[in-house]
Amino acid sequence: MCLKLRCHPTIDFGPDLEQQCAERCTDNVSDANEGSCTETYQALLECVEPLSCQDYYLWVEQEPDAPCTEEEQALSDR
């Protein structure tokens, strides 16, 4: 998920790994600031909001025929 930091502050990274981690975190912040993360998250919320209780349950349980799976996957891929 793009808004989740991928660097853990208590891990002692080597020089190369620390640089790669910092670059990934910078990329995540840039993506979020550009609005792409917000738009993707908003699309998921707009899909989930009108669901019936039964459909919402399917989505929460990640059933194969659950609604909003494409929107959730788009957010997870960030």
* Domain housing 41: 15-76
71 within a domain of the structure (yes/no): yes
- Is 20 a residue whose pLDDT tops 60? yes
Q: How far apart are CA 13 and CA 68, in angstroms?
A: 37
5 within a domain of the structure (yes/no): no
33 within a domain of the structure (yes/no): yes
69 within a domain of the structure (yes/no): yes
Q: Which residue has the higher pLDDT, 37 or 57?
A: 57
φ, ψ (nearest 5 deg) of residue 50:
-85, 5
Q: How far apart are CA 71 and CA 36, in angstroms?
A: 13
- Is 11 a residue whose pLDDT tops 70? no
The owner of tokens 């399917």 is 58
41 within a domain of the structure (yes/no): yes
7 within a domain of the structure (yes/no): no
Q: Which residue has the higher pLDDT, 30 or 45?
A: 45
2 within a domain of the structure (yes/no): no
As a whole number, mean pLDDT of residues 40-59 equals 91
Q: How many domains does the chain have?
A: 1
28 within a domain of the structure (yes/no): yes
